[in-house]
Structure 1
Amino acid sequence: MKIYKIVSMMSGTSLDGLDLCYCHIWKKKDKWEFEIKKTKSIAYSEEMQLELKDSIFLKADDLLQLHNTYGVWLGEQVNTFITENSLEVDFVASHGHTTHHQPQNGLTFQIGSGQHLANTCEIMTICDFRSNDVALGGQGAPLVPIGDQIFFGTYDFCLNLGGISNISFEAKGKRIAYDIGLANMILNHITRKIDLAYDKGGGMARTGSVNVDMLKALNNLKYYALPFPKSIGYEWFVEEVAPIVDSTKDSVENLLHTAVHHISEKVAQQISLNLNTDKGILLVTGGGGLNDFLIETLQHKLGDSIKVHVPSKIMIEFKEALVFALMGVLRLEKEINVLSSVTGAKRDSSSGVIYIPN
């Protein structure tokens, strides 16, 4: 039985930092299984956070320079992680950091050059998991549903509350998934107004009250009326969402409280539309799973038909990184790792570019 030993990395749109996950993945009786062995989160410095946030505005040559230097930095983090834990590694799976996501224009870009990364850590690296699907006419997102299907298929719904909220579930024998809309991206945007990285546990949001005008404006965003498959990126947030938040004159507590209600309403709405049983279980992962007020508000809006299940802190924080490790394994095995039923592409694919260290 071949056991793959992988270091996988994820940097999300919430810009809180880099997640590293060392896991073993193997196949037993035609079923993929996993064990998370070691994890590490590296918070971005304020300078790096700003550099990544503003990368969308860079000229092409400056963006490519960042692509390369970020790839080297990722390789250095892999080296440190391996040394700290004396790890034996077969390959690295890296999501990179999304700077541009415009599938409607056939464009998606994740910085973190795979060749620079591989050369720096001297380990085979698999990355760029999105662009092949976009080339096939798909959204290139969400990608995690393949992991939901293989590793977490016993749940009725899998919800990720990262910078963006996305959901996945089975419908008529196919995996369906799409970006619902906002999550931590809006919450962190609000807390940065008072130089706070995030609202721990939703404590500040809990003390606020709903700003009716802001809630109405957010609920009326055109994206929510679009049919799936669909996905969003930071560009959408900058163009459509930030102006609503920034033009609302209210306390940070009220802005956060309103954003939490908006996020919860939109998630509950989508689950209600796709619930096929009397009772169901919703698995919640991503940083939003640590926001107690958000989880409580979501459970309240869902009512008794759906039980919100928040797993261990390790699973909350590292599920996405784990799934990119699985995607790397499936790429090496030449098995499907991107589902056209999710992305809207012409066909399923085995995506990811393999870089050999030189």
Structure 2
Amino acid sequence: MKALAIGLMSGTSLDGLDICLAEFEKQDKWAFQILKSETLSYSEDWENKLRNSIHLSAEDLLELHSEYGFYLGQQVKEFIHKHRVEGISLIASHGHTVFHQPKRKFTLQIGDGRAIKLETGLPVIYDFRSQDVLLQGNGAPLVPIGDELLFAQYSACLNLGGFSNISLQSGDKRIAFDIAPVNIVLNHLAQQLHKSFDENGALAEKGTVNESLLNQLNALDFYQHSHPKSLGVEWCNQHIFPVLENIEALDALATFTEHAAQQICNVINQYSLKDILITGGGAYNTFLIEKIRAKTKAEVIIPEKKIINYKEALIFAFMGVLKMNNEINVLSSATGSSYDHSSGVIA
């Protein structure tokens, strides 16, 4: 069985829209090949719209949901035309997360999949998280199904995006959970120094770790809970950003980088992991990676760029393929939902 699919991913750190065209084939087990991929940076206007979406009225948010759906459709249509791609089975869109409150039974990723379908004329699978939340799950992380079926050769997969999340085999089941914020905080602090992000961790390296703040961060309640668990921007607004306001940006960067590395390595060491595949934008933060390497004996593997950049978009494309075949694409052992299920809305 073969399928050609496009995956769309927009992360909380607003780095841009990831588009990944991949071919999937199943014989004894699943295999994949990334054929084309690119990241489209958001215009200042779109970045502001998405960043401020959490503050919109219900009517304005619904308008943005449609508008962003048409935007996604237009970008995919241009991508298909540019690369002269034919024979696409489906588009799978993560959308852009505005609200994520699983305890209150809702999560919202905007970008109406029906608008994407109207623009492209292709089947679209979207809204992958809501069903899991309704099934008492966290609606996150969803990527572990791809880790289990496409990246099983590694002891664990660690994604360093807006938040860090890990997926690993524990006994006979795959578990996964968010560990700590990463780029959503580091980018915010870098922007105070007129940089869009902390390239290679060079700014953090200049700062001094504030031990008192570090202890305060490490003592946050979230870190004491066992999995499954997930984080959202609301949590950062409540617990992280306020305590970083009274400290120099360079020192805040140094302290938060140290905090993220400590929390990540606590998990790696807790599970005695042999090796760990690191992807997401944080894989390029050499200062953070050095700190992780220094705090654990696990082999830290940084793969080729297209896997670093597009693993999440790749796996959402794969989740779309699984959904179209009515196969399980969300693991309850990862999200805490009532049972494994096949999630996503088909347009």
TM-score, normalised via structure 1 length:
0.95
Residue number in structure 1 paired with 2:39: 41
Residue number in structure 1 paired with 2:2: 3
Kept in 2: contact 1:210–1:255 (CA 8 A): yes
Kept in 1: contact 2:90–2:321 (CA 8 A): no
Residue number in structure 2 paired with 1:270: 267
Distance 2:68 2:235 in 1: 24
Residue number in structure 1 paired with 2:83: 85
Distance 1:212 1:46 in 2: 36
Q: Percent sequence identity over matched residues?
A: 45
Q: The residue matched to 1:293 in structure 2 has which SS?
A: helix
Q: Over aligned residues, Cα RMSD in angstroms?
A: 1.0
Aligned length: 346
Which residue, 69, 74, 82 being the options, matches 1:76? 74
Worse overlay, 213-222 or 342-351: 213-222
Kept in 2: contact 1:5–1:91 (CA 8 A): yes
Whether 2:336 is the aligned partner of 1:336: answer no
Residue number in structure 1 paired with 2:129: 130
Spell out the pairing of 1:39-118 with structure 2 (5 A cutoff): 39-88=37-86, 89-118=88-117
Residue number in structure 1 paired with 2:318: 326
Name stretches of at least 5 consecutive residues in structure 2 with no aligned partner: none
Distance 1:242 1:47 in 2: 24
Whether 2:276 is the aligned partner of 1:282: answer yes
Kept in 2: contact 1:56–1:235 (CA 8 A): no
CA drift of 1:213 comes to 2.4
Q: The residue matched to 1:87 in structure 2 has which SS?
A: coil
Whether 2:250 is the aligned partner of 1:256: answer no
Distance 1:148 1:8 in 2: 16
Distance 2:43 2:291 in 1: 31
Spell out the pairing of 1:112-261 with structure 2 (5 A cutoff): 112-246=111-245, 248-250=246-248, 252-261=249-258
Q: The residue matched to 2:337 in structure 1 has which SS?
A: coil
Residue number in structure 1 paired with 2:290: 296
Kept in 2: contact 1:330–1:350 (CA 8 A): yes
- Cα offsets for 1:91-127 (capped at 9, x unmatched): 1110000100000100101000011111011111011
TM-score, normalised via structure 2 length:
0.98
Residue number in structure 2 paired with 1:349: 341
CA drift of 1:226 comes to 1.6
Distance 2:73 2:212 in 1: 46
Kept in 2: contact 1:160–1:166 (CA 8 A): yes
CA drift of 1:50 comes to 2.0
Q: The residue matched to 1:38 in structure 2 has which SS?
A: strand
Name stretches of at least 5 consecutive residues in structure 1 with no aligned partner: none
